[in-house]
Every structure is written in C-alpha cells, then in structure tokens.
Structure 1
C-alpha cells in the first residue's frame, strides 16, 4: 500500500490514502464517505448478478485501514449503507463485533434509511444533518455550508479527468479540496465518479489504481 500523503489544513494533519480514506491525526479519526455497504446485495435481490466479491473487497479495505491507522473513531460522512437490510448487512454486524471498541459516527446520508434500532444494535452513533468537530464540519450533501468551519462532504462521488496522448482521457475518483470545503471520494468501488471543474480547486488528489496522484 502506498504511504499516505500529508495534507495540512487549519493546522491539522490529514493523511490521505489511495484507499479513499482520510486519517485525521489530531483526533485519531478515520474519515470515509459513501461506502454503500449492502449495495451489491440490493442489486442481486433485483436480479442483477453483481458478485459479492465487490462488497467483500470494500470491507477488507476498511479492515486494512483500521489495522494500519489504529483510529479511536470512524467518521462516515453519509451513505454508510445503501438501502434496507440484507444478508450483507448481517455480515457487517458480525464484522462490527471484531471492532467493538471503535467508536463509529455516521452523518446520515440519503441512502441511510435503516431504522434507529438497527444502528443502535450495531453500536453506530447517528447524527443529522451535520457533525462539528474541532475546526471542521461534516455533512453528507451540504458542501457549501457558510461559516467559520471548513466542511467535508461526500454524496457527489467526485472525479477528475486526466488526459493522455491524443484524445485519450480517463476519469478517476479524487479528493477535491476547495477554499472552504473538501469533497471526499466514494469509498466503494461500486460507484461512478462525477467530473469536477479543476479551476476553482485548491488541491486535487486523484486515486489512480492503488496510488494517489496530486493533480493540482
């Protein structure tokens, strides 16, 4: 795994990973967005043959990040889960038991529709619409929150287009740092990516295979 890249913001050390996560050193918090756990199971229930290996790979990447950074808390900036409960979420609950000491905070997203009892049973603290911590504000889909705090959001699944020789181009997920907010990449690989305008960004880090590439 590529070594994390340090991005300093508001005197805080943020370690960006090609595994689509951010480790906030001062708070010992791993920050991720748009995991969409259960999405592959949801598609299979609808008759679309999406392999379970997609979900297992995402879950294993999360395990690897937790083992690497050893955070005290996991902050999920929305869309932790994709829809109603299914077998994959039962697996998640068993996984949760292996990390019982980890505090999990979910900033509820539009796909987080499970009932309160389910979240309580999985020891997940749910907040809505925002979470304030230190100099930062976390919100699933409100990236333009006005105020003194720098905001982190998800929802959009940001991407950046990289041009090659001739007319070749590819779009990659990215961390998109603007002046007053950062849009986090979707953690799940079972998502698309929306092309972002590079010009207003302060910094952009593209996730290219298993490496981060600073574009701006």
Structure 2
C-alpha cells in the first residue's frame, strides 16, 4: 500500500492529506476520516446482494497502516462509522480494535450510526453530535448553521470526473476544500462517488494509488 501525502495550511494549522482517504493533523496527532460504513457488506449479503470478499478487511488494513505510518494516537471519525444493524462485520471491527487499545477514538455521529446502546456500549470510544477543537468544528454534514465555523465533514462522498480520450471518463475520490470547510472522501472503498456537486470556490484534491493532484 502506497501512502502519498500533501500538506495544506488551514487556519494556520498544517493538515496532511493522504491518498488513502484520510487526513493527519499533526498538532493533535490525529487521523481524521469519514464514512467507513462498517456492516455494509454483511447487510447487503443478508438481503441477497452479492458483495466482494475482503472489503472490510481491506479497509481496516488500510486504516491500520495509516495509524502505524503516522503513529497516530487519536481517530476522529466524522460520521457513518457504521452502516446498519449489528452483524458479523461489527464483530470483526471489535476484534480489530484490540490491537489499538491506546488509540483514542471519537465518533461524530452520522445518519447511519444508529446502533443500539447495548451494541455501542461494547466500544470504548467517545460519541458526539459535533466536536469543536479550535480552530475546527467536526460534523458529519455541513449545514447552514455552521456558516460561521470552519467545518471538517464527510457525508457526500465527493469525487471528480476527469475527461479522457473520446467519450471516456475517469472518476476519482477527492477532498473538497474552500475557505469555510473541508469535505472528506468516504474512507471505505465500497462507496459511490458524488461527482455532481462541488463546494463553491473550492479546490479538489483528487488522488490515485501513486499521486495527489488538485483541480
């Protein structure tokens, strides 16, 4: 797995974008990510929809390598860590967490994070509707009420559509950045890309396995 990085300056803070769909914030020693959607593959299989093997394991391995690469001590997950009701994927995630007992995890709730209290209580992490760590506000979805704050969010699964030869197009995930907010790409590889909406006056940092480039 290649980890490609690019530093950007936001509100006098250095944020490190990665081609592995997460941001590292050095001051807080924190990885910031969104839309992991744990439980999605098991949920679809339960309803008769075939899913490729190893999707969750691949996502968790990528997250493990990011934690080790940056020596991160905190995970800030801006929503949709989970996808659906309790299933075997939740158990897989719980076992995976055992290797990172010293890593603090904060979940900012997303629209899919609807597990019962009895399930959530099995996990030793903090759960918030919003989280403020100056100069940022962490939310799942940026709303009008956040217009006076700089938010870091997810939810929309941003991507870009790049025209190739003839009628060919390439879709890539991206970070969308403007003077008021950052929208993160979905961390899970099993997500669609929204290439139809872009923040006003934003820069898109798209990426591949080998590079990060901006539009």
TM-score (norm 1): 0.93
Question: How far off its partner does 1:214 sit?
Answer: 1.9
CA contact (8 A) 2:4 2:211 kept: no
Deviations 1:116-149 (A, max 9, x none): 3322321121101x11111001110125443543
Cα separation, partners in 2 of 1:85 and 1:52, compared to 1, 3 Å = farther
Q: Distance in 2 between matches of 1:66 and 1:138?
A: 20
1:178 alignment counterpart: 178
Cα separation, partners in 2 of 1:199 and 1:149, compared to 1, 3 Å = closer
1:21 counterpart = 2:11? no
1:133 alignment counterpart: 133
2:150 alignment counterpart: 150
1:193 alignment counterpart: 193
Deviations 1:76-111 (A, max 9, x none): 000001011111110111111111111100000011
Structure 2 residues not aligned, in runs of 5+: none
CA RMSD of aligned residues (A): 1.6
Structure 1 residues not aligned, in runs of 5+: none
Question: How far off its partner does 1:165 sit?
Answer: 2.4
Cα separation, partners in 2 of 1:185 and 1:131, compared to 1, 3 Å = same
Q: Distance in 1 between matches of 2:211 and 2:13?
A: 20
Cα separation, partners in 2 of 1:199 and 1:91, compared to 1, 3 Å = closer
CA contact (8 A) 1:20 1:186 kept: yes
Comparing both structures, which one devotes a greater share of its residues to strand? Answer: 1
Question: How far off its partner does 1:197 sit?
Answer: 4.9
2:56 alignment counterpart: 55
TM-score (norm 2): 0.93
Secondary structure, counterpart of 1:35 in structure 2: coil
Deviations 1:49-89 (A, max 9, x none): 21331111111111111111111110000000101111111
1:72 alignment counterpart: 73
CA contact (8 A) 2:4 2:212 kept: no
Deviations 1:170-214 (A, max 9, x none): 221100002211110000110101114558343211122x13432
Cα separation, partners in 2 of 1:63 and 1:199, compared to 1, 3 Å = closer
Q: Distance in 2 between matches of 1:122 and 1:18?
A: 28
